[in-house]
Chains A and B, each alone.
Chain A
Amino acid sequence: MNSSIHYRHWIAFHTLFSREVRRFIRIWPQTLLPPAITMTLYFIIFGNLIGTRIGEMDGFRYMDYIAPGIIMMSVINNAYANVASSFFSSKFQNHIEEMLVAPIPNYLILAGYVAGGTARGLCVGFIVTLVSLFFTQLSIAHLFITFSMVILSAVMFALGGFINGIYARSFDEIAIIPTFILTPLTYLGGVFYSISLLPDFWQHVSLANPILYMVNAFRYGMLGISDIAVTTAFAMILSCIAALTCFALFLLYRGTGIRN
């Protein structure tokens, strides 16, 4: 066991990440299947049935217009839910102690969970993308922007899920944020419409919604159109990731919710 500290850290991170991936694959009927079914319904109802009556939006069929938003919605919801529920479960069953007694620095605990949540977000995003191929002809206008935006969004919401998991004292408390904050923000984040359709006042209010930036930047990556400047979207997301990372590390350092 004379291995270097970097190697030991890599092994610890890999162990945590593998455990997280193994977990969401083991319970795939709860983690991977429901988003596929829900998003299929979105495509059928909003895209096919209602969308054909709406016509075009920003020069694209409505179905094609909403597809990037629906993919992004599934990514952020699942990245968030994975970390929040997994981290809270580890507190609830006390097996978080396995990590707390081990020589794992706080940033690696955070990185392991966030990587696991990001992996689930991307897995679900991939599944929903496959589903969308039955309804749309997907194209990618800007490959780098598409992939970097989906990964950064998953990371950002995985961090949010981690902080939720730290504060949560019951399973109810990991459902409150997704139900009362995340879902409304997602629906109001330009998944189903362009904010140019809104009155001026609500357009300005919408700019305070971080999901708007992600959806639009991702849509820009796929379709080449956006309500928001893509550089602004990247700056906003990177700033949020930096702030959430610092806050999560601070909570871990203080032992909030995990140490007496």
Chain B
Amino acid sequence: MTALSIRNLTKTYRNGLTALKGIDLDVNQGDFFALLGPNGAGKSTTIGVISSLVTKSSGSVTIFGTDLEKDPERAKSFIGLVPQEFNFNGFEQVKHILIAQAGYYGVPAKLAEPRADELLHQLGLWDKRNTPARALSGGMKRRLMIARALVHNPQLLILDEPTAGVDIELRRSMWAFLTKINQQGTTIILTTHYLEEAENLCRNIAIIDHGNIIENTDMKSLLNKLHKETFIFYLKSALPNDFTLTIADYLKLDDTTIEIEIDRDTGLNSIFTALTQQNIDVCSMKNKANRLEELFLGLVEKSEATL
């Protein structure tokens, strides 16, 4: 079943800015879907329309088969939203925020309370349950928003840059949590600036730029489009003066560090062979940039060139 179906969605703001220019998008039930794009591309507007915070200009949004315009109550009941900005009442206690949110979805307090307790435990907020939300740290506030979005057991969870400004340890624990709830059946749509996050978590991906979807495919196919990858090699000893590499472009960064751009057809083995033939030992190596990042930048540059 399709969890989310968007057809010919447009949005023009009062100031004349057209944020969405007729996008089509489908997200299947159970998917972990990434919606990527540079700043101002239309990601947050798309999420705003899906979650009823932004009024569309035209087009349709269908959530689990229910048209958002024709039956907004039913369509909204499927969604849990984690917005980009903190949007809770800072004076309310953490647990009250969760129980109230469940109440807005028609879940009575006696049912919401155990669910809220479970989420507070899972997201490491149990000790803060009676604390006013404004007293939480930035990372805790992010987790509170995730707990709030899940308290009514939504079938579709939408996260708008959920790990922005979150330290790496917490980010990884949030990834594990999101993976777990996705495996339990919740469809997840994620926007993020951390492309490593999208690559690690998501199975399908759409890239939006200037209000148009410029790529919409599965992660594997997208990564297969990457013809070149740049690696940085850390060498055991200084690079000899007469070093040459004919099978790939390279750049000497310092005496013991070299950057090599490798064609998919060339492969790493032939690079290692070439280095070994010149008695060069490699200590370690890494990708210069995330693979998805390279693709993303390439697609966005191409899209801008066509404007």
Asked whether B38 is an interface residue with its Cβ less than 8 Å from the other chain, the reply is no
Identify which of B13, B85, B106, B153 contacts A260 (C-beta below 8 A): B13
Residues of chain B in range 57-106 having any CB-CB distance to chain A below 8 Å? 72-74, 76-77, 79, 81, 83, 85-92, 96, 99-101, 103-106
Assess whether B106 is in contact with A3, with CB atoms less than 8 Å apart: yes
How close is A43's CB to chain B, nearest CB, in angstroms?
33
Complex partner residue of A101 from B76, B90, B99, B107, CB under 8 angstroms: B76
Among A12, A26, A97, A259, point to the contact of B55 (Cβ < 8 A).
A259
Instruction: Considering the complex, give the chain B residue whose CB is closest to the CB of A258.
Output: B53
- CB closest chain-B residue, reference A259: B55
CB distance from A252 to the nearest CB of B (A): 12
| A11-B110 Cα distance, complex, nearest whole Å | 11
Q: Taking the complex as formed, is A30 at the interface, i.e. its CB lies under 8 A from any CB of chain B?
A: no
| Chain A residue with the shortest CB-CB distance to B74 | A103
> Is B248 engaged at the interface, CB distance under 8 Å to the other chain?
no
Query: Within the complex, what minimum Cβ distance (angstroms) separates B52 from chain A?
Result: 6
- A133 in contact (CB, < 8 A): no
Inter-chain contacts of A19 with B (CB < 8 A) = 92, 96, 100
- Residues of chain A within 8 A of B100, CB atoms compared: 15, 19, 98
A11 to B106 CA separation, bound complex (whole angstroms): 5
Please indicate the chain A residues that have their CB under 8 angstroms from the CB of B148 in the complex: 98
**For the complex, is B170 an interface residue (Cβ under 8 Å from A)?**
no
B106 touches A98 (CB 8 A): no
A93 contacts B73, C-beta separation under 8 Å: no
B40 lies within 8 A of chain A by Cβ: no
Interface 1/0 per residue, A1-36 and B, CB below 8 Å: 101010111011011100100110010000000000
CB distance from B9 to the nearest CB of A (A): 14
User: A102 near B13 (CB under 8 angstroms)?
Assistant: no
Taking a contact as CB atoms closer than 8 A, the residue among B55, B86, B106, B153 that contacts A7 in the complex is B106
State whether B104 touches A93 (Cβ < 8 A): no
Q: Does B245 contact A (CB under 8 A)?
A: no
In the complex, how many residues of chain B place their beta carbon closer than 8 angstroms to a beta carbon of chain A? 35
Q: Is there an interface contact between A97 and B106, defined as CB atoms closer than 8 Å?
A: no
> B124 CB to closest chain A CB, in angstroms?
22
A99 contacts chain B at the CB level, 8 A cutoff: yes
- B contact face: mostly helix, strand, loop, or mixed: loop
Contact B89 A97 (CB under 8 A): no
Chain A CB within 8 A of B191 CB: no
Is B186 part of the binding interface, using a Cβ–Cβ cutoff of 8 Å? no
Contact A260 B48 (CB under 8 A): yes
A8 and B89 contact, Cβ closer than 8 Å, known pairs A101-B76, A103-B76: no
**A104 contacts B by Cβ under 8 Å:** yes
Least CB separation from A8: chain B residue: B106
A105 to B72: give the CA distance in the assembly, Å. 9
Is A142 among interface residues, defined by CB-CB distance under 8 A? no
Task: Check A100–B53 contact: CB distance below 8 A.
Answer: yes
Residue of A nearest to B79 (CB): A101
A97 near B53 with CB under 8 A, answer yes
Q: Closest CB-CB distance, A28 to chain B, in whole Å? A: 14
Partner of B53, one of A5, A11, A89, A260: A260
Contact check, B87 vs A12: say whether CB atoms are below 8 A apart. Answer: no
B51 within 8 A of A: yes
Question: Is there an interface contact between A12 and B72, defined as CB atoms closer than 8 Å?
Answer: no
B79 & A14 in contact (Cβ 8 Å cutoff): no
Q: Are B54 and A98 in contact (CB under 8 A)?
A: no
A-B contact sample (11 more), CB < 8 A, given A93-B88, A100-B51, A103-B74: A1-B106, A1-B153, A11-B106, A12-B103, A16-B103, A89-B89, A93-B89, A94-B86, A95-B87, A104-B104, A260-B13
Question: B residues touching A (Cβ–Cβ < 8 Å)?
Answer: 13, 48, 51-55, 72-74, 76-77, 79, 81, 83, 85-92, 96, 99-101, 103-108, 148, 153
Q: List 9 A-B contacts (CB under 8 A).
A: A1-B107, A16-B103, A23-B91, A90-B89, A93-B87, A99-B104, A102-B76, A103-B106, A105-B73
Instruction: Give 5 nearest A-B pairs by CB, closest first.
Output: A8-B106, A15-B103, A102-B104, A94-B87, A103-B73
